[in-house]
Every structure is written in structure tokens, then in C-alpha cells.
Amino acid sequence: MFWAICFSLFLLMGCVEKSANLETIYKTNDNNIFRDTFSIRDKTIPLPLGEWKIISSGFDADKFFYVVLIQEHPGKIFSYVSVQVDSIQLNREYGYFKDKDLERSDMLRVFKHKNVQGEPLDGWFINNFIPTFTAKDSSPQYIKDASSYIASHKLIISDDMILVSHLLTGSHPYKKRLLRARYVYNPEAAGFSPSPKSSWSTSEWNAVRFNTDSQKVAYINELVEKHTSIHEQIKAGFHRE
């Protein structure tokens, strides 16, 4: 019994140590620049061209771990990447839920490779996105840290951005691993005029109306081509057990 208790304490302390280590490794550092790829828990995340740096990291209430990287553009605007991974505390014996976003018909683009309840998930989508960086008292610390970074660096939160979200989960019978990589692009960095303030459904980038603008269509098609390749790179870097 004594050794069983000691072993249990060892496992518990090991979990705490590894959790703290993740937050230590992926802490904010303006001098730590990433290019081309970013790796976390043996998962490799391709990064779009340019320099990226971490502005926050941490756990949510469900023990998923997040890292947020940012790329600043001229004019104090920015794009960012949010990476969500499973953590050592997670044990999804019955797999992950079917992803609702991969079933939606109101997206700019959806690429559903596999979306079956309890089985490995594989898919990605593109959609217009109105970001908010307002942290509440109940928000996870990594969201508060991202909000503080943007405020302290006086960055401008654009009213319309483009989200490209990739989702993969693993097939291990007891440890269901997850990777969600969200790439949030700022069209203003590509030369588009700032969008007028609107809601998601009335945005000029919404799937209902963006097709009337050939430049917007070309921009989304370029993202499709780029992220078709990125998704395959993410899959190759997602080391399934």
C-alpha cells in the first residue's frame, strides 16, 4: 500500500511538473522569433511566411493547452496563430465529439476528410471571423495574457479577419490526442481596405456576399491552395500513437 501511494504521488507530481514545464517553455518573449515551423508535444505546426512570436500560453478549464503566436504588420495590425493540444491530464477514452463546424454550410470553404463521432477526426475550414480580445475575470489566463499583450503594444484589432482552422485527433484506444491549429489572417496586410464595422453575418467577407468581389475570391482561393498543403504538413507532423 505504501509503495502504491508513493507511486500515485509520483505520477501526480510528474503531471504537475510537466504542466508547469509547458507554460515555462512556451512563455512570452519578444526576442524569441519563430519562422517556418513551430513544434509542441511532438506536433509540428507550419507557420506562414514571416516572423512569429509567442504572446501567451496556458491551460483552459478542460486541461487543453494553448499557445498563441502573433505576427505584427505595418500600421499596428496583426495576424495570429492559436494552437490547441491535448495535455498529460487528458484521457479521452471514448474519443472526441463530432465537430459541428465541419458540418456547416455557411462557411467560405469546408474540407471534411473524416468527422465521425468517437473516431479520429480530420478536416479544416475557412471562414470570416470577427476577433475579440476582451478578457473576463473568468477567462483562462492565456486569454488574459493575449489581451494584455495586444493592449500594451497598442495593436489594432481589425473588424474582419479570416480564420483557417485545422483539426486532427488521434486513434489511440485510450489516449485520444488532439491538435487544432487556427490561423487568423488579416486581409488588410494583403492590401484590402479596412472593413466597415459589422456583424459576422453582415460582413462583406461572409460567404453570402464575398463572391461578388473577384479580389476577395482570389484571396480565399490562395488560402485554399496554401492550406491544402499546410493541412498535409500538419498531418505529417501529428505523430499518431
Q: According to the model, what pLDDT value does residue 226 have?
A: 98
Cα R_g (the chain), whole angstroms: 19
Give this prediction's pTM. 0.87
Read off the pLDDT of residues 53-70 as tens digits, 9 standing for 90 and up.
Answer: 999 999 988 888 999 999
Query: Which has more pLDDT, 34 or 13?
Result: 34
Which residue in the block uniquely carries the three cell numbers 514545464?
Answer: 21
Host H or E run for residue 55: strand 53-59
Q: Could you say which DSSP state residue 190 is in?
A: G
Alpha-carbon gap, residue 79 to 158, rounded angstroms: 10
Which residue in the block uniquely carries the three cell numbers 456583424?
Answer: 199
Q: Does the pLDDT at position 190 exceed 80?
A: yes
Q: Could you say which DSSP state residue 98 is in?
A: P
Kindly report which listed range (12-21, 181-190, 202-211, 215-224) carries the lowest average pLDDT score.
12-21
